[in-house]
Structure 1
Amino acid sequence: MKALFEQSNIGKMQVKNRFIRSATWENMTTEDGHMTDKLYDIYEELAQGGVGLIITGYANIVIEEQPNPGMMGIYDDSFIDEYQKLTELVHTYDSKIVMQLAYGGTKTTHNVGERIIYAPSEVAEKGTNTLGKSMTKAEIDYIIHAFALSAKRAQQAGFDGVEIHGAHTYLINQFLSPYYNRRTDQYGGSLENRMRFLVEVFLQMRKLVGDDFSIMVKLTASEFFEGGLTFAETRVICKTLENIGVDAIEISGNIHGKASTMIGQYFDGYQLQEEGYFVEYGKAISDDVDIPIITVGGLANIETIETILGTTNIAYFAIARPLLSEPHLIKRWQAGDRRPGICEHCSKCRTRRGNFCVVHNKR
């Protein structure tokens, strides 16, 4: 029987428990994405708090593309030394750390009009209404190579792996989506073609980092709107990722700010849950594949998490907001205090001074 506080593996990476800090944009770097003392302190406290694996806030892979201010960078070699300091700090507490790599694309309102923003097709992002440039084959190759180089830099900096952000309407998600991807070349049309960009990103990464470095992928379960990526398609994508050697898949969604109105509804035959929004989707995929599946979204109660662990093949539980309000939550649970996290799910974490809990953990 699986236990929450036991060692397990994501690829060759050994993780001391089944709790993951999901990628969270902190908005606390320098203007060009470099580390600050405040950010080092946040990651050290997370590691002290007992979480098995930390996934960093998303890092931009090319200098000209920054979907949000204050986000980490990994677009050139100048970051390697400062990230070595970060990874050594986290490893001191027997936690592992993975860097999330992303090209945000049109899921942005930051500096729009001042830079070229790539997209698979000229279709405005639903939430931001930002329009991107339909990519040429040369531009596709450029971004694929940038993803691979960024993974290599992360490896050189001592990270235990990387996570490819293929969810939340960022560029990779848009290539997967029939709504956003209207291409008629080898990167558009059929699901096999729409997957090609993500598959090539992974394969080029694997060539540069070798087989022992963990590569995870974050996917949107469904786009939850007519004409978007369906859960049936996501299941096919997950089988493909397993077959080419991806080490773990995190199943998420793009319902930020909309969860309260969507909970309990059925999409593609599965219901969004009040705690563990995407558990039903993660459960189905965990039955399809033999690699670890991570669920994320609204998790704050250890009793619920244990039930999911005991009744599904889901292997890991990713938490974000509860760790903003209570960085030592996992250590508290492990010590026997099983009260739910104190997070009030008010979603007021995002402030102009960075992302932190304004109720319980003021900075």
Structure 2
Amino acid sequence: MNDNKKKSFKRRDFISTATLAGLSLSTLSTKASIPTTKPSSGKRMIGELEVSAIGLGCMSMTSGHYNPPRNHKAMEAVVKGAFDRGVTFFDTAEYYGPFTNEEVVGNALKDIRKQVIIASKFGFQFDGNRPTGRNGRPEHLKKAAEGMLRRLKTDYIDLLYLHRVDPEVPIEESAGAVSDLIKEGKVRYFGISETSPETIKKAHAVQKVTAVQSEYSLIERVHENQVIDTCGELGIGFVPWGPVTRGFLADKFNEYSRFSDDSRFASVSYYTPEAIANNMALLDLARDWGLRKGITPAQFSLAWLLAQRPYIVPIPGTTKLQHVEENMGAIDVNFTVVELKEFRTELEKIKLVGVREPESALTNK
């Protein structure tokens, strides 16, 4: 074990230390002398929608993409427990499961429906439970929304994203379908995912876009090329999925980690053996800054995202309540302007492997 690993403040160390010392998560954060923003109230605005500053991504609870699917009742307890710990923003999709993820979220939140914000996503065609491709046609989207409402056990969806843009359907038509759903009272706000600045503007011209959800983390920063700024210019929130890079920035893996061919991790470009070995330098940097701030690498990674723009709301996924508690602790972490500049300088010295080229942000994924 190298010195960095001996010194790092990992999730399990964080949880045991906090328990033994009787400390709250917020106690571990360091007060900055020149914060970039006022201390957090725990809430943020994405467009006109108020949500908890950190949400909960629910995909891993049922999808089987990055871990075996969990017991549904146990996952409902995690969703309810997250609300008890301050989370009001819950993210799901018809694709997750498929369909079963929305059922878990709907069952968990039905008794507190008015107190939470449910975001879901549509835009895929299915043959039974098998996804067969994208479908952004208005008639399909409207039919899909009916099934989503039924599974979520609600008569409205707070934030409905087009999960991926259908290249065969003009974005204006898909946006128009959501506009109709909003007029019917079945949807409150419209979002899109993994889209270019040009597509964001086209969709926004038809139906006001409240949020754009795309991957963003210390490792994957491609959307710093115009996408995040476009959101700011248009009054749109930006919701990062994968904010701790599928667990890498939570100190879950190291240079010795390997994945079987049937694992979803094996198909992720920054999870090849070469990429992990190279990108450990970034994890070491997050560890070092975590020690400096008295927080875990995961908390540092989330707090850094929050510090980039006031309209950014990350949605880390987990199946464990202790990780929800840890993630929420990032809300109270402040940075000075000097700290952010210093960290960015150190960050940009690391040449990452397996990440997207900046130009790819200018096309739909």
Normalization by structure 2: what TM-score?
Answer: 0.46
- Structure with the higher helix share, 1 or 2: 2
Task: Decide which structure has the larger Cα Rg and report it.
Answer: 2
Normalization by structure 1: what TM-score?
Answer: 0.46
Q: Which has the higher contact order (CA 8 A, sep 6+)?
A: 2
